[in-house]
Every structure is written in C-alpha cells, then in structure tokens.
Amino acid sequence: MKRRFLLLIALAISVTMCSQNSIVESNNDFTFDMFKHLNSSDTSETNMFVSPFSVYDALAMAYDGAAKKTATEMRKVMKFKKNQEESHKDFVQLLNEYKKDNSVFTITNAAVAQKNYNFLDSYMKCLKDFNATISQADFSKVEERAEAVKKINSWVSKNTNDKIKDLLSNNDIDELTRLILLNAIYFNASWNTEFNADKTRKMTFYGKNSVEYITDFMNGQQKVGLSENDEAQMIKIDYSKEVASMFIIMPKENADLDKYISEFSLEKFEKLENTLAALKVNLSMPKFKVESRFEMKKALMDMGIKAAFSKSADFSKMNGKSNLYIDEVIHKAFVEVSEKGTEAAAATAVVVREKSMAVSQTPSVNINRPFIFVIRENKNNAILFVGKYVKPQVEENTK
C-alpha cells in the first residue's frame, strides 16, 4: 500500500513537471519570436530591453476571455500546446510556484474593470486564478479616467521598486475602455562572484560599423559557461546561489547583429547552451542601463494575433458578447547591470476596449561589440527578459 502511495506521488510530480516544462517551453519560444519582431530598422542603433514573460502573462489573461478565431490565433502565437482550459491550468500552476519561491524575482497581476460592467463570473474567476487584484473604475468620465491612470501607474511603480513609472498616459484609454489587464515583474540578483568596483575602467566598445565608444567596463576573474560556433560566442554568468543566469550571445566580429537576431531562435539558443563548458576567465563587460517602451500592437499583429485587435475580435468569454477587442498592449522595461549584479523590471498593460458603433589556462573574454543578453531563472528555465546592447548611452560617449 505504501509503495503504491509513493508511486502515485511520483506520478503526480512527474505530470506537474511535464506541464510546467510545456508552458515554459511555450514562453521561451514566444520570447525569441517577439524579440525578432520588435527588432527592426527603427531600433538598429538603439539598445533594447523587454520582458516577453510579462507580455505573455498579460496576454494569457486576455486569452482566457477569447473565443473562436481570436483564441485560435492567440494560441498559435503564444505556442500553447494544449487547449484553453489546460493551458490556463499549466500557466497558473507555474505562477503559483513562483509565488512560493520569489527570492530574486516577483510577478504580480491586476485588472481594472469598468464600473458596473457585466463581466462573466467565470472570467473573473480566471483572473483570480492569476492572483490578479481586481478593482473598478468609471472610464466614461474624464476625471475618473485620469484617476484610474494615476492609480495604475502607482501600482506599477510599487510592484517594480519604482523602476517602471508612467506606464500609461491619459491618452492610452478613453470612454470606451472596459478592462485593463496588468502585469509587473521585478528582478534583483547579485552575481555569484561580484566584480570589484576598483577594477572598473574606461575601455573601448565597438558599435555598428566599428564605431568606437569609450565607456565603463567591469573587469574580474569569473567562472562562466563558455561556448562558440561559427556564428557566435555564448557566455553564461550565474547569479548568487545559481537561482538565475545571464546569457550573453555575441555574434562574430563584423557580423550584423540585426541579421543575427532575425535568424535567432530558441533552438539556436539551446544549441549554444548545450555546448557550454565551465571555465575560469578574465571577463570584461560594460556596465549599462537600458530602458525601453513599446506599443506592442503592430508587433503582435505581425506575429499573427490579428483578430484580437480588430472589430471582428471575439472575447465573448469575458462578457458573453462579441463587442470587445484589444486596443493596445503597452510595455515598459528597465535593466541595470553593475558590479554587484542586475536589477530589472517590466510592466505590461493590455487595454480592452468596447467596439464603437462606428583559449589559455585563464582565457580572456571581452564583451566589446554588440550583443544579445538573456536573463533566465534556473528552477524551471523560464526566460524572463531579453535585450540587445549596441552602444553606450550618449552621455557616456567620448567619441
């Protein structure tokens, strides 16, 4: 009897891990798809940082209210491998696990609904499964809209340690806004081996077309994971207690970073990761801070979520009608990399609107040209953030 009981427990654990692995893989696949769609000629000379996980979380709350073609498109783009109900359970299960163990990052959800609007109880229950704090506002009145924006921005600021401010403006919502779905994520971790600030010095970073920039580089001996192929080099740097890691992917010299990003994928990332070798190196890398803001509608439509943003959208699982659509998805992210570690934050707002009637013993590694960087938690291997660094901030340049 005892053996049978233990087998049942083992089976339950196995099923749970498979579910989490499935949803994590879907998120990670979505990560690189979203990253390449956000990267464009407009951002070629711009540092960029995003949290696809934050966008994914906020979209997952909207997806629970979608039906028919709207749901089909969202499911395909979000890489869900199961039906709506099962995907909801798997994602909520992952969030609940993170809630229990949030030593270096926190994930928080909220929803602001139109006052006295008849959302289905079943949809409200779905939002509560996401541990979303639900409040109401009267978007039909100018003064109350402005107050709602103020409260939302305050909530975002509070849940990102004041790193994300003014996510929404008064122009982002109007009298036909019916629901705003919110996610905030905050990450703060020290390196396993911190860099000595006394060794930070001015060095040259080679930007696009080998333009030279002088900026602060951190220097120190680090134990890293290192791999290389014909296209790029990957460096893995662990945070304290190895609860998370930063991966830096630096294409070969004279390679076009934007072209590399356009062909980058989860598969390519994993191939590099699978050949990582543990080495002690003399590492040089720039200190940097990046802040980004995106209106995600175009990128998400290009990825394949089209109906959700159109007048043909079907979010009938929200209110029993087909009169709602997503007006915009607004995302802001922040990261600062220093000698001590990394602080990062992001927030996403999905604005739902009603349709109007109208190599040596100690080798050296120098991260001195444009690179991609990825931050991943190591318990379930979910990628939380991804970005690119192409040049130091303007005020840091001496050339």
The topology under which CATH files domain 13-189+290-354 is: Antithrombin; Chain I, domain 2 (3.30.497)
The CB-side HSE value for 242 (13 A sphere, CA atoms) comes to 5
- Give residue 186's pLDDT: 97
**Half-sphere exposure of residue 129, counting CA atoms within 13 Å on the CB side?**
20
Burial of 11 (0-12, 13-18, 19+ CB in 10 A): exposed
Predicted pLDDT of residue 364: 84
Contact 318, 324 (CB under 8 A): yes
Angle at 376 between CA 110 and CA 213, to 5 degrees: 105
**What burial class does residue 10 get, using C-beta atoms within 10 Å of its C-beta: 0-12 exposed, 13-18 middle, 19+ buried?**
exposed
Through-space distance between the first and last CA atoms of the chain, rounded to whole angstroms: 75
97, amino acid identity: E
Three-state DSSP at 314 gives: coil
**Mean pLDDT in consecutive groups of 10 residues from the start of the chain, 399 residues:** 42 45 94 93 83 98 98 97 96 93 90 96 97 96 95 98 97 96 98 97 92 95 95 96 96 91 95 96 96 96 97 96 96 97 98 76 84 93 94 60
Residue type, 123: Y
What is the model's pLDDT at position 383?
94
Give CATH for domain 190-288+360-396: 2.30.39.10
Reduced to 3 states, what is the DSSP secondary structure of residue 292? Answer: strand
Give me the pLDDT at residue 41, please: 62
- Residue 21 is predicted with a pLDDT of 79
Q: How many Cβ atoms sit within 10 Å of the Cβ of residue 256?
A: 12
pLDDT score for 10: 39
Q: Name the residue among 364, 366, 98, 365 with its Cα closest to residue 244.
A: 98
Domain boundaries, the chain: 13-189+290-354, 190-288+360-396
Angstrom distance (rounded) from CA 66 to CA 380: 27
Closest to 95 measured CA to CA, from 82, 81, 108, 114:
108
Query: Residue 311 and residue 129: Cα distance in Å, rounded?
Result: 28
Range 11-17 contact pairs with CB under 8 angstroms and sequence separation of 24 or more:
16/93
Residue 43 corresponds to which tokens in the numbers above?
A: 């951002």
Q: Which helix (H) or strand (E) holds 76?
A: helix 68-77
Q: Would you give the DSSP letter of residue 262?
A: H
Q: Which residues pair with 337 in a beta bridge?
A: 288, 342
The residues facing 63 across adjacent strands are none
Are the CB atoms for 213 and 392 separated by under 8 Å?
A: yes
Alpha-carbon distance 146 to 142, whole Å? Answer: 6
For 130, other C-beta atoms within 10 Å of its C-beta total 24
Among 365, 391, 382, 376, which residue's Cα sits nearest to residue 228? Answer: 365
